[in-house]
Structure 1
Amino acid sequence: VRYVIHYDMPKSLEEYYQEIGRAGRDGLPSHALLLYSAGDIHKIRFFFEDSADPEKAEMLLKGMTQYASTRKCRRQLLLGYFGEVLKENSCAPEECCDNCACGPVPDLDVTIPAQKFMSCMIRTKQRFGASYIIDVLLGSRQKRILENHHETLSTWGIGAGIEKDDWFALSEALVEAGYIQKYGEYNVLVLTKDGQDALVQRKTIKLPLLLHQSTVLNAPQQKKSSNPMFMLHKKGAFVKTLGENDLALYEEIKEWRKKNADEQNVPPYVIFGDKTLEELVEKKPQSEAELLSIFGIGTAKAEKIGSQLLRIISERLE
């Protein structure tokens, strides 16, 4: 056997280790690929009710999720779980895990975003998971946030300079570094003593992270304007770079967005944000596949409004 591929995450590291051990028993190089998502975790927990010892099952699952999400040497973590110490800090070249193969991730100064994240945890009473905390930081107006009146918090919307995936990466890095920890069935986030100390004493926080180039770290907090979204660049700066034709396209899409927002009785950014508007003008997608490459447009939104946007762009290009 040369490859062992897990399409779902195993329930424990014991199970995972036994299954990947089927590869390479003849001593020749072999590979293991693990695909996982948060949905796997919820699915595994669904069966905990039938477990003879749910508490032990949760502990085993925690070990598996730590292995799957770690940014450190996976071989070191795996061997350490079974009581074997890997003397080196990383794999040997001939038996390399994916993290070590990519080389060490440099430590990044994430002091300000980490402070924002942990402050938001405190202001929401440490009763929610990462997804909810991130939605608050990004200024979401989803029903649950409005019902909890969390759009009134000082931390609502202060994370608009960081992409959602990067917030999740930061959250996992803070867990791995011991500043916060996940608790219970729904992975509620709570501060550890180290996290409390770092927040109160305003300590510098450096973590191994690779983020999107568009993410803005350690930028001063933006002031709120009459628009509930936070402007990341001077208003009108993008427009000033446009030629006559692109400016006409920009205004037409913007007007179309406003008309749709008025019909639905929602702010224009609910239809799509300014970053999406700018990319539509810059890239001028000509097909649904190209449209899906635009920031903020997924499959559902493409099906709903894609044909109208493509028509507007196509007519301008004729």
Structure 2
Amino acid sequence: MVEEKQIFTALKEYFGYDTFRPLQGKIIDSVFEGNDNLVIMPTGGGKSICFQLPAILLPGTTLVISPLIALMKDQVDGLQANGISAAFLNSSQTEAEQQGIFDKVAKNEIKLLYVAPESLQYIDALFSSGNISLIAIDEAHCISSWGHDFRPAYTQLGYLKNRYPSTPMIALTATADKATRKDICDQLNIPNAKRHIASFDRKNLSLDVRPGTKKFEQITAFLKGRKNESGIIYCLSRKNTEDLAAKLQSKGYDAEAYHAGLSHTERTRIQEDFINDKNQIICATIAFGMGIDKSNVRWVIHFNLPKNLEGYYQEIGRAGRDGLPSSTLLFHSYADVIQLQKFAETGGNSQVQLAKLDRMKQYSEALSCRRKILLSYFGELITEDCGNCDVCKNPPEFFDGTITAQKALSTIFRLKEQEPISMVIDVLRGAHNSNVLEKGYQQLSTFGIAKDISWRDWQQYLIQLINLGYVEIAFHDQNKLRLTSLAKKVLFEKEKVRLADVSHVEITKEPQVAEKKVENTLFERLRKLRLELANEEELPAYLIFNDATLKEMEKQRPMTDEDFMQISGVGRQKMQNYGYRFIKEIIAFSKEKREKKVRKKSSTYKETYELYKDGLSVEEISKKRKLAVTTIFSHLAKLYDMDKDVDLHNFVTKKELKAVKKAKGELKDPTLKAYYEHFEESIDYWTIRLALAIIAKEG
């Protein structure tokens, strides 16, 4: 078993952190105990460290299955920048390059080897000696047909556990509902895997949903003042990406279109330019993003409605991976729903996909806190509204909907949680259709209990109860409605439920305008230095340091190696590679600030002095300069100290001067407040200040 001290030493040495994020330490301990693990952790939550850190300390090589070349390259570049030996194998390499990697693996010189699932057959012989210490399956949701990004090549991965039964396996993904989680474990032959489900709550992401009218005007309003920020706009069609990119270019934005119709070379160039901060905006189909580990994406816009909440959550999760505040904006329209329904009907597993699309539509039209909806979808129930979504910022009218909720929840309970939303509404409204009568539901005590509420309104109230986390949809079981633990509080513990009045659905929204940013900050200076270094080393800028680390440098201003090493995200290798230049920049910036402050003070004293020499009174100088009288008196005292021709005796009487001189010999506390209180407020602050200046100069 690896000791705790070794783990934390490696965490700081290679990754630059002193502490783990939630769940990371527990997962890493479980890996060292030899367990199989399923890790569900949101984008930016720190999944990679859960297998990368054990890989450093385990004796052999960690095999990482990853779906995309770009993702592999990104992670390997990041590991190498941290001083960790890592490599990837894929079809883009020559035979000689691959042989070189094989030789290093054989000599145990590589700690992490990234491989696409399609390439596993070529390396099987390589590990026949059994020197695999850990198997990591990244983007594990790709194995499940329940998931939102199913990839047939992943289904072959089940053999790995049979081939290496004693080697621990860790499967990781950012998005998986209950059905997908079970499917991942079953298909990978790790049914007893320890399950680690992190909070899906990304508090740094603001959530905004708007009707899809005048989209371009709303987007340009959103982008105002964001020219230095990276962002992604997801579109449903290739044509949308090209049209939108062209329009943005005409407005002066660095925008490019990205879709599957472009050549491989062109897609690679666009992606690398975005990663390296050479362009700011990507207008893309959903083909873009899985391979992006870029931590400083500040915003994500959905030009069209996504097809399900898993995909939406994963895509917005590409913003703010560094933990800094970031924005998301979703447009929705009826036309999007129709188009997505056609896609779902022609694809596999259409019933489930249509149900998930319907849930996505409900989210876009919701009258409840959007974060609550997202979290409840992934099985995480919260009671407080987030305050950082458009519904919380502009809430609808609410009423006490406890009785309405109890009627609905009681009906779902009496239906034994075996019916979808339409049947629940039919029973509530006492419908006498064949489906109800055949199943004998007219005998239920809640049959017809709420005839006074229309079918449409009941649909809205049930959607709200789902959104609020009292009910969930079992997509893998014919979309049946199930009660959550929160529902029992309403039914049996008299918990109140607030529902939105569905007669006030339309909420008008003004286009969001970003605030202008201050350019000449230390953060901007450090960002420019980071870009210079990135260009020199041909690395993505965020792999040198992410924005959160630069923000901490701006706040702490480290000027020694020791202080620089205390910054979160600074490891030993990065300290050696970049520390000198960042410290030099911080020192230069601090020196310029001090000099500027001195110049500003000198200038303001000079202006007061010139007006004083022109014969203006203190009150007149105060009025002309729009400064307080006390400020002008402090200027005069300073000018007197600087041996300027200022006669302070004009403002202080002999009696006052004598009194202050006497108090100076008596008071232990030399502050102006002490003098002021000593004189029981009979002498003004500014008079005391001027008297002390005279006494100091005249000895």
- For Structure 1 versus Structure 2, the TM-score category normalised by the shorter chain is 0.3 to 0.5
TM-score with structure 2 length normalisation? 0.22
TM-score with structure 1 length normalisation? 0.46
Relative to its length, the structure with more strand (as a share) is: 2
